[in-house]
Structure 1
Amino acid sequence: MIKIPPQPPVNELNVLVIDGQSLVQDTIKSAFLELGIENVRCAQNAFYALRLCEHISFDIILVAFDVRSDKDGFNLLEEMRFKGYIAKTTSVVFLSADTSAELVNCVIELQPDDFWVKPLDKSRVAQRINYILKVKSQLYRLNYCFDQEEYPSAIYLAQRQLQDASLAQYYPQINRLIGRCLFNLQEYADAEAFYRQLLKQYDYGWVVVGLLRTLLKQDKIEQAMTLADDLLERDDARFATYDTLTEYYIDKENYEKGYELIKEASKLAPRNIQRHRKAWDLARLNHDPFGQYTATQNMAKYAKNSIHDTPDLQLNVIRSGIDLASTVSSTQAQKLLAEMERKVTKFQQDFTHVNDFKSQLTVLQARLLTLGDNKKQAEELMQTQGEVNSWHSVEDNLDKVKAFHEVGQREQSLAILDRMKEQIHGNEFANQVMSEYIDQERIERSEIHHNPKELAEMASIHYKNKRFAPAYKLLTQAMQLAPKNPNIGLSLLKVLARIAQDEGLNEEQKSGLKHCKSLLKTAELTAQQKLKQAQYIDAISQHNTSRS
């Protein structure tokens, strides 16, 4: 059993109230004073709150969402956790007048001890503070062991506390920590039995999610999926279920299913930057350039003024915008490229004093020139960009891979991809997905020498000259790179109609037809596109019927 330091007396607890409204500060402070707690400090903004946390270890922290002067309370709370200012033994209360589903979903993910809706009632505040202090006192030793990752000790203490009838109101919190300890110890069978026993007493979402996680770790898939279907209907378990299933599908290398799940979770709780990052990684792996662009935009939007906010997020929006421009129609591409050029100009204005971005901006300029049919100028810019810079991010070097490939220097592009594998270490989600993506890029850039837009344009020339076989080959390559692009799907359907008319479809082409139908069934098509789709399918059906 580890040595646990004594809990500080109640009158020596340090309290931090972070709220821009002096009335709220006074209400909370007076409630603590009535309970004999005098060490209450107030901060009107995030900057001052963080400065206080650098010098004082707070036992109770109350943070308002609308700390508008520098960053909101959600971002502040996330940063305080990241910097270690909030431990398991710290009590956290979130304050907000906003009770919208989006905000509440995001706050739930940060797991505060309580959520108070403003305006505050002083008598109600005193009651809730008193309850928090009791929980803090009773569970102090247990939470301390968990914080120190002394899980066997935590389980021992928890089991003793469960034998104390006077602690009955705290049994749910105690049991929750036991389940987390068993899972962290990888005792999955014991954890499953534990959660099944708990289900006879409680119907909390965390109990069923805990059971789901243990079932998946033991590959009891049928039971797990039945449970997951029910959990996705529950507000108190939906996010944890999405994340748990995503983790499972990624482990099983089912990246398409993992991507579908994480997109849904990102819509419900959009402030979670790490989830958007995962969605971006999976969008790339699933050839969804629009999904990439959406994820990077969300990251840049919700990271503003947070600990995640860096210039790289703006660069990633530009990169994904260029990627998207290479897959859409000429009209859409022109609009996107014009927008990305404006973003590059603004980035240069905002960060003219930073030399670190010179190489990244050169690569972006080259990519923009290539898509604007100025390959010669792009090639000249890329002459000084041949090396993998180990101090640059994977994203910087990956952008260089794309730029070299787009100007036709494919060997240089593949050489950089090979060297990039050295930057990927560990089995974490991001590294696992990025390693898979680099392998995918290596294969596709070896076999396919153009982007989807170029492939579609070349296929159009072949089609006009009645060379349907090469047109089909080019469009299947374009479809491989952009499998969700309805314009490419329609073009491929058009070519298949002519091949069916001239010689009939072989098995590979029938498979391609099936994919086209599946894509276009869920795509948002104009009335004209729907008419063309019906005409092509009808033509294929007639010729297939006449040949059978």
Structure 2
Amino acid sequence: MLDYSHKRFLIVDDFSDFRTSLKAMLRELGAKDVDMADRGEDALSLCRHKRYDIILHDYNLGAGKNGQQVLEELLIGKLISHECIFVMVTAESSQAMVLSALEHEPDAYLTKPFNRASLSQRLDKLVERKTALQPILQALDKQDSSAVLAACASLSQQDKRYAPLCLRYQAGALRELGRLDELEKLLTALLADRTVPWACIALGNLLQTRGQLPRAQQVYELALKSFPMFPGLYDGLAAVLSAQGEGKRAQNLLEEAVRLSPLAIRRQMQLGKLALENDDFGIASKAFRSAVEQGRTSCFKNPENYLGLTQALTGQAVDGSLDKRLQLDINQTISELQKTYSNDQAVQVRARLAHASSLVLSGDAAQAKKLTEEAVARLAELESFFSAEAAMAVASQLRELGQAEASDTLLKNCVEIYGDDPAVMQGIALQTSDPAILGSGLQALELNRQGVRSYQQGEHGQALEHFRAALALQPKNISMALNTAQSLLRLGGEQATPALLEECRACLEVVRIMPENDPRFARYQKLRHKAFGDE
């Protein structure tokens, strides 16, 4: 039996008798530092102030966060290190619960009841594994992908038992380092030997990113023949089919994934979006409703789920008329959305437009007009801009509600901010053919492309000039502002002139309009930290 006297334990369970019993077991194993909590929220609070070595967390805690949601939040918030052992404990054994819990990969899954001997045996194996993997896990905590690769190579040579685990860590490190050719070679070689679900998903994602959709589809389809109970494979294949325009097949796959593992809020949200695109408003309503309900205690809570549910309910109007039952459901959804996100002015605008669209179908044109006018007035007061997808949705709603001028203004801003994205431009072109809107960014796009090429070739001074010229033409464009800021910081590092630093900060002030859910937000934060130092 291992020495647990220096390990810090956290027990989370809503039954006091079980907490006391489990603590006694740990004491018998030599544990001295054992904390307890009966709610997921309390567990998170404890983890914010103390680093634990081993967490034994019950899955179902009644009202509030469940074990899966706590684990998600611990990982996203980096409240536990990679060396921490997280054991999911439960008396439940339903397929839906087990698959949902295992998808988030706790270190172990322990079914009640168990005795001290079985607990000791399980913990000993987990500690032994974490100890062997320690150099890799410490490198992961430091976000040092090169060190991860070196540690993987060393451990694979020292102990062949850990070679399969090392391959997975190695694949992640190669992806983080952008060494994609090496990653593809590693995954292809592994899958030629045996079918491994995580490797299939990794290769499928890589191939999709590279535009090799038929090959990615083949990878997922072959994997599903061997692992039909693995929901992540359905997700991957659905994404590939959707990218190929096969939205209905993609929806069917996600419906199967949700049937297997319904307690995954992001999967429910994706199913809702696909169903909306397919005008399957019944499935969309069911999926978004599940996402809303799960989101009440999840860190993945998202206003898009409320808005999606509202759109799906509105889509169920018959012959252009919305019955009272549906309108009541919409009113309740909108009310909860506005209350939950009372400080988010962009959400408040979208909530009013969604409500107005439903009221038009309910025959309340006067109230619909009032809400629309309130939304238009609030648009001018927004401190940050919408995401590209949200901006196009709002523009479409404004046009449908008789606000063509406001719609065109929003689309023009969208071009200025996101016009370097071809997919965004295609979406805008579906709403307008106005050359004053669509043609304003072409020269800036070419200058930005030239800047990227120069930067990649190490011609940083030339790259900066291209980026500056592009940004001058499209002063609200996020990518161009970030590119200019990065080039200025690169030259600032070499020349350290206050003028370059001040120009960089001005570029980053432009980017403040970016919503936090934009995938470039992390890059913006890193550049801002370098430019401002104290933030």
Establish whether TM, by shorter chain, passes 0.5. yes
Change (3 A) 1:363 1:113: same
Q: Counterparts in 2 of 1:15-94, with a 5 A limit? A: 15-94=9-88
Q: Counterparts in 2 of 1:110-129, with a 5 A limit? A: 110-129=104-123
Displacement after TM superposition at 1:132 (Å): 0.7
- Give the distance between the partners of 2:180 and 2:393, measured in 1 at CA: 42
AA aligned opposite 2:165: Q
Aligned residue in 1 for 2:461:
none
- Greater RCO, CA 8 A, separation 6+: 1
- Residue 306 (structure 1) aligned to one of 266, 281, 298: 298
Whether 1:107 and 2:97 are equivalent positions in the alignment is no
- Give the distance between the partners of 2:270 and 2:98, measured in 1 at CA: 22
- Give the distance between the partners of 2:268 and 2:423, measured in 1 at CA: 14
Q: Counterparts in 2 of 1:252-331, with a 5 A limit? A: 258-309=250-301, 313-322=305-314, 324-326=315-317, 328-329=318-319
AA aligned opposite 2:11: V
Aligned residue in 2 for 1:241:
233
State the number of aligned residues: 427
Q: Deviations 1:115-167 (Å, cap 9, x if unpaired)?
A: 01112222101100111111111101112213333223222222222222xx3
AA aligned opposite 2:48: E
Aligned residue in 2 for 1:146:
140
Displacement after TM superposition at 1:65 (Å): 0.9
AA aligned opposite 1:162: S
- Give the distance between the partners of 1:337 and 1:251, measured in 2 at CA: 34
AA aligned opposite 1:320: A
Q: Counterparts in 2 of 1:177-216, with a 5 A limit? A: 177-199=169-191, 204-213=196-205
8 Å contact from structure 2 (residues 216, 240) kept in 1: no
Change (3 A) 1:403 1:378: farther
Stretch deviating more after TM superposition (213-222 or 302-311): 213-222
Aligned residue in 2 for 1:382:
372
- What is the TM-score when the length of structure 2 is the normalising length? 0.68
Change (3 A) 1:156 1:425: farther
Aligned residue in 1 for 2:220:
228
Displacement after TM superposition at 1:366 (Å): 2.9
- Give the distance between the partners of 1:425 and 1:120, measured in 2 at CA: 58
1:50 is paired with a residue whose SS is helix
- Give the distance between the partners of 1:155 and 1:346, measured in 2 at CA: 47
AA aligned opposite 1:371: L
Displacement after TM superposition at 1:94 (Å): 0.7
Whether 1:370 and 2:360 are equivalent positions in the alignment is yes
Root-mean-square deviation (Å): 3.8
8 Å contact from structure 1 (residues 206, 237) kept in 2: no
- Give the distance between the partners of 1:396 and 1:226, measured in 2 at CA: 33
8 Å contact from structure 1 (residues 15, 60) kept in 2: yes
Aligned residue in 2 for 1:336:
326
- Give the distance between the partners of 1:208 and 1:103, measured in 2 at CA: 24
Q: Deviations 1:373-426 (Å, cap 9, x if unpaired)?
A: 343553344334325335475588667545543443434334334434566599
Displacement after TM superposition at 1:202 (Å): 5.4
- Give the distance between the partners of 1:397 and 1:212, measured in 2 at CA: 30
8 Å contact from structure 2 (residues 353, 398) kept in 1: no
- Give the distance between the partners of 1:10 and 1:225, measured in 2 at CA: 47
8 Å contact from structure 2 (residues 229, 260) kept in 1: no
- Give the distance between the partners of 2:58 and 2:425, measured in 1 at CA: 40
Structure (1 or 2) with the larger CA radius of gyration: 1
Displacement after TM superposition at 1:251 (Å): 6.1
- Give the distance between the partners of 2:214 and 2:352, measured in 1 at CA: 52
Change (3 A) 1:121 1:289: same
Displacement after TM superposition at 1:55 (Å): 0.9
- Give the distance between the partners of 1:438 and 1:286, measured in 2 at CA: 20
Displacement after TM superposition at 1:298 (Å): 2.0
Change (3 A) 1:385 1:298: same
Change (3 A) 1:251 1:151: farther
Displacement after TM superposition at 1:58 (Å): 1.4
Change (3 A) 1:243 1:425: farther
8 Å contact from structure 1 (residues 189, 214) kept in 2: no
Change (3 A) 1:12 1:435: farther
8 Å contact from structure 2 (residues 220, 236) kept in 1: no
Q: Deviations 1:447-469 (Å, cap 9, x if unpaired)?
A: xxxxxxxxxxxxxxxxxxxxxxx
8 Å contact from structure 1 (residues 105, 269) kept in 2: yes
1:149 is paired with a residue whose SS is coil
Stretch deviating more after TM superposition (106-115 or 391-400): 391-400
1:178 is paired with a residue whose SS is helix
Change (3 A) 1:442 1:43: farther
- Give the distance between the partners of 2:74 and 2:265, measured in 1 at CA: 15
- Give the distance between the partners of 2:370 and 2:64, measured in 1 at CA: 43
- Give the distance between the partners of 1:386 and 1:424, measured in 2 at CA: 21
8 Å contact from structure 1 (residues 75, 305) kept in 2: yes
Change (3 A) 1:20 1:284: same
Stretch deviating more after TM superposition (201-210 or 11-20): 201-210
Change (3 A) 1:262 1:74: same
2:51 is paired with a residue whose SS is coil
Displacement after TM superposition at 1:371 (Å): 1.1
Change (3 A) 1:265 1:32: same
Change (3 A) 1:250 1:219: same
5+ residue gaps, structure 2: 435-535
- Give the distance between the partners of 2:262 and 2:419, measured in 1 at CA: 28
AA aligned opposite 1:408: G
- What is the TM-score when the length of structure 1 is the normalising length? 0.66
AA aligned opposite 1:278: Q
Whether 1:170 and 2:162 are equivalent positions in the alignment is yes
8 Å contact from structure 2 (residues 204, 219) kept in 1: yes
Change (3 A) 1:236 1:371: closer
8 Å contact from structure 2 (residues 356, 372) kept in 1: yes
- Give the distance between the partners of 1:136 and 1:12, measured in 2 at CA: 15
8 Å contact from structure 2 (residues 8, 34) kept in 1: yes
8 Å contact from structure 1 (residues 70, 305) kept in 2: yes
Q: Counterparts in 2 of 1:501-512, with a 5 A limit? A: none
Stretch deviating more after TM superposition (395-404 or 79-88): 395-404
Displacement after TM superposition at 1:25 (Å): 2.5
8 Å contact from structure 1 (residues 270, 302) kept in 2: no
8 Å contact from structure 2 (residues 342, 348) kept in 1: no
Aligned residue in 2 for 1:470:
none
AA aligned opposite 2:142: Q
